[in-house]
Amino acid sequence: MIQPGLRDALERWLAELDSVAGRSDKTVEAYRADVLAFLEFLQGFEGDGLGTAHLGRIKTRTMRAWMAHERGRGLGARSLARALSAVKNFVRWIAERESFDPTAVLMTRSPRFKSKLPRPLAKDAARAMLDTVELQSTTDWVAKRDQAVVTLLYGCGLRISEALGLKGKDVPLGEMLRIVGKGDKERLVPVIPAARAMMARYVDVCPFDIASESHVFRGVRGGVLNARHIQKVMEQARAQLGLPATATPHAMRHSFATHLLNAGGDLRSIQELLGHASLSTTQAYTAVDTARLMEVYEAAHPRAR
């Protein structure tokens, strides 16, 4: 069995990720599951009584055996890469405290996988989606609600969870909106006039009282609007418009970033608007071609001028 000391170390590491590194609850839970799965494999591979000392004796063959085991039970390359990252971080953290050499773990190569680039909508398709979403309901306030949500995704680059998380204290929308995103990171997002107008239209006809701490977007029975509803509405709209299955709520956020960059916005500013920790993530979101990225590079890099 896994020794209590090792379990305690895992919980301390996870607590540090939560409080110091600012990882989201979902990320912390995913890391817990990944590392526990690794430790359970290690227990079977190395024998009972698994403690922190065992981590200092891990060999390259052990890591290869674990990865082969994970692939054998159906774990994809992307998920395995995430699990390996969690294991490396945990072992590195313990190694610093127990003073052992974690090289065998840290030098393990991550499996290769093809990054899935987001597929933004063309400008005319994005505008058509905004108009068509409103036509999916014969109930006036519901139609206005759905259009307001999708307008926030495209006009402000919000995640659907961020849009549906807005509270009564956030309306009426001003020129700037404070958003608490992944990892509880705050950012200020400019609100375009169209988004302010759509929100005002919806709030004006919403049949439920929108108190300061209650959610703005409500379901037909008054509860918090579920993201699945917006997904279904967009599914219906894209079928009418002949758009591909990639025309999802998140694609509206991709479209916001791509269209902003193509209009002359710089990557660093778009990174801040989207709330990305890494600029490389923003580059993937924008899905721009190499020529456009070189234009941005040449305009921004001091040695390019």
What are the residue numbers of the active site? 159, 182, 250, 253, 276, 285
Residues whose CB falls within 8 Å of the CB of residue 177, separated by 6 or more in sequence, listed in order: 156, 170, 188, 189, 190, 191
Count the Cβ atoms, other than its own, within 10 Å of residue 259: 18
DSSP string, 252-263: HHHHHHHHHHHT
Rounded Cα distance, 99 and 55, in Å:
11
Q: What's the start-to-end Cα distance of the chain, in Å?
A: 62
Q: Which residues contact 203 (CB under 8 A, 6 or more apart)?
A: 171, 172, 210, 216
- The phi, psi pair for 167, rounded to 5°, reads -110, 170
Q: Residue 140 is inside which H or E element, if any?
A: helix 140-156
Rounded to an integer, what distance in angstroms lies between the CA atom of residue 51 and that of residue 1?
A: 9
Cα Rg, the chain, nearest whole Å: 23
Tracing tokens 């960059």 back to the chain, one arrives at 261
Quickly count helices (H) and strands (E) in the chain: 15, 2
d(CA 43, CA 49): 7
Bridge partners, 270 (sequence order): none
* Contacting residues for 143 by C-beta, under 8 A, at least 6 apart: 134, 135, 136, 137
Q: What is the DSSP letter of 167?
A: B
What six digits make up the tokens of 293?
Answer: 């990225």
